[in-house]
Each structure stands twice: as C-alpha cells, then as structure tokens.
Amino acid sequence: MPNRNLVYESLVLRARESPAGARILCLMTAQEGLVDVFVFGGPKSRLRSIAAPYSAGRAFVYYDPVKDFSKLSDFEVIEGFSGLRESLARIWAANLVAEFLQRTSGGGGDYVTVLGLALDCLRGLESISEEKAGYPALLFLWRMFGILGLMPDPDACASCGAELDADASVFYSGHGGGFLCQACENAEFQSQSSPAIDLEAWPITGGAHRWLARSMGLPFEEVLRATLGPVSLDSLKALLFGLARRAAEGPLATLASGGGIL
C-alpha cells in the first residue's frame, strides 16, 4: 500500500482555476520537481489564502492513486515573500522565474538545487532595491543554464579554446557554440555570406563578461552587490533572455510582456 500522504518542500509557482471552480497550484518541489495539486474551499478559505504564489514551505498532499489525483491538505508557510507583491519589477522577475521553471520541467532533475536557487533568487528580490530587481532574475537564469548543461564557458573561446580575458568584451555566437575570441569572431563573420544568419549573436561588453565570469564562484547574494552600466546591463539581458528562450524552446510570455521593466 503506497503512502498516500505526502510532504513536499515546495515553492508555489502558479495558481489557476479548473473549469469546475477548484484551484490548481503548480508547486516546485525538492522531491519530485513540478507537482500540480488541487485546493478545495471557497475564495475565503484559509488554505487558498496562504498557499498562493510565491509562498514557500511544507506542502501536505493527499494522493489518490486510483484517480491519479493530488489534493493539498495543508500548507506550512516558512517564507511568504509578501514583499514581492509591493513592486511591479519584483513581481515581474518572480513571474519570469516561475515561467522558466514550468517551461523547463522544473530544471530537469536536480530539484533540490533548483528549488534552492529559486529561493535564493526570491530572497534577493525581496532585499534588493527596486531599480536593481533585474539582477536576481538574471543571476537565476545564468545559474539555471549551468544546471541544465547549457551554460557557455565565459573563460574560454568556444571555437579555438583560447583563454578569454574576463575584462575584455567578447562575442557570443549561437552558431559558434559560445563566446568567441576576437580572431574567431572575425573568422566567423567572414565565413558567413550574411551575418544575419546567426540570430543568436550578441556582443557582450567587458563589464557584462566580467559579471558572468565572476558570478560562478561566489555566493548568490554576494554577486548581487555588483552593478553594471546601462550598456553592459543591456548586453547581459540580450544574452541571458536569448539563452532562456532557447532553453525553453520558444518565446517566454513574461519576456514578451515587459522585458523593459528590469
């Protein structure tokens, strides 16, 4: 007889209503990745109000193996992240995290690490000033590419293997498979009849390149102390949002609905 009462360490990503009026939550869990659970009760029920995006904590779930149906019986909030709701930029960044996790099947398999990263990102969003709200989301995406095996190496040219100076501007080429040194960038352009062939090609400023290279070995909150100038920030966003679309294998609604907020 399988255990029908399950406990998940979880973060509520999304809430939607079923045609019959029940609420369905999508949870990011440490144990099984994405899990959908039904929440019953009227709009004023206690469980509905506490188990909502972006509450994090322990989800108590009853699973009916015959009907293959999961119902939330209780939710113990450990972190409520209520500060996110006070700011459009912060909630937009949190929405991007949620959509990215849903579109990549909860990050593929290392769910404990992915959930920890998402929580680090939300903590960063809550504590950072409004105008810097983009940085936790950008760092979340960059680290997610590492977990998904899609992170281009910022320290070496993807074509010839030469070491890249972390302070130097570089060129990212989807066609070339990563960051290119100056010589390989020139060769790449000469080999193409039209540079427009490579739709995933972005110049990365020295500042953005240094941010990417530096952020690999530091704790999450420490990376957030660094800020970039507007040109570097734009080049970082073009790269990371572009790679996010590729990882999700299509457009992301959150990006289409106001990437300029960050």
* Residue among 254, 259, 256 at smallest CA distance from 97: 254
Q: Which residues of 141-177 are buried (b: 16+ CB within 10 A; e: fewer)?
A: bbbbbebbeebbebeebbbeeeebeeeebbbbbeebe
Q: CA Rg, the chain, in Å?
A: 21
Smallest separation, CB 167 to Zn ion (Å)? 17
Smallest separation, CB 212 to Zn ion (Å)? 17
- Rule CB under 5 A: is residue 12 a binding residue for Zn ion? no
Name the residue nearer to Zn ion (CB basis): 162 or 168. 162
State the DSSP H helix or E strand holding residue 72, giving kind and residue range, or none if neither.
strand 69-79
Which x/- pattern over 155-184 shows residues binding Zn ion (rule: CB under 5 A)?
--x-xx-x------------------x--x
Name the residue nearer to Zn ion (CB basis): 88 or 162. 162
* Both structure tokens of 181: 């040194």
Smallest separation, CB 91 to Zn ion (Å)? 41
Smallest separation, CB 162 to Zn ion (Å)? 5
Number of residues that bind Zn ion (CB under 5 A): 6
For the chain, the residue count is: 262
Q: Which residues bind Zn ion (CB under 5 A)?
A: 157, 159-160, 162, 181, 184
